Amino acid sequence: MKLLEGRNAIVTGSAQGIGLAIASVLARHGASVVVSDINAEGARLAAADLKAQGHQAISVPCDVTDEHAVDALVDTCRETFGTVDVMVNNAGITRDATMAKMTLESFRTVVDVHLTGAWLGTRAAGRAMRTQGRGSIVNISSISGKVGNFGQTNYSAAKAGIVGLTKAAARELAKYDVRVNAIQPGLIRTAMTAAMPPEVLARMVADIPLGRIGEPEDIAKAVLFLSSDLSGFITGTVTEVAGGRNM
C-alpha cells in the first residue's frame, strides 16, 4: 500500500542523513519528491539515485534562510508536479559550544537555519496549500528542544522555537485543511553519532528504554504517517521519536 500515491513532497536538507531517509521513504510510498539542500551537488546525486530506483524526483538547491530561495523552491515543486502536498522542514546545522565560549554569530546562525528556515518553509508551503485546500507540513524539531543539551543553547533554543511555530501555524492553517505537526528525534544513528567515542555512545544508548539507537528511517516513518491521510485528524502535535529517552 502506497500512502502518498499521487502526492508531491519537498524535503529540505535531504542530500544526506535523516533528510535523505525521509525523501526515500516518501518516494517509496508514491510521492514525487523535491530533494532540496544547500549542497547542490549532493541534492543532485540524491535525486538521481531516487530516479534510478524508479521514483519521481528532482533536486532544487536552496538556502533555507533566503526567503526568495524558499519561495522559489515551493514554486518549482508546484510548477513541476502540479501541487505541494507535503513540506518537510528538516534542514539544520550545529555550532556547539558552551555559552561562555559561543559567539553571537554561532547563536544567530543556528537559530536562523533551524527556526527562520522552518518559518520560511511553513509560510511558503502554507500559501500554496491554502489555495489547494489541503496539505501537510512536518517540522523537524529535536528532543534537545524539550530537555536542553549542554553546549547547545543555540540548537536547543531553535528546536524549542520550532514547537511554538508549529502550534501557531497549525491554528492559522487549520481552516484550509492544512495540517502542521512537529517531530522530535532523539539519539539517531548519523555521522555525528558515528564520530562519538564508543563508550560515550554506549552510555547514551543505555538511557533509552527501547534499548537501541534510532535509525534515520525511524524518523522517516513518523514523517510518512504525519504526511499521509492516516493522520488526517492530527494537527499541532509534537511526536517524540526517541525510544522513550527523556519521556
**Which amino acids are annotated catalytic?**
155
What sign results for the dihedral spanned by CA atoms 92, 94, 100, 104? negative
Residue the block writes with cell 538511557: 207
Q: How many CB atoms are located within 10 Å of the residue 9 CB?
A: 30
153's grid cell: 543553547
Quick check: 46 and 100 in contact, CB under 8 A?
A: no
Three-point CA angle 151, 154, 155, nearest 5°: 85
Q: What's the rounded Cα separation, in Å, for the pair 177 and 165?
A: 17
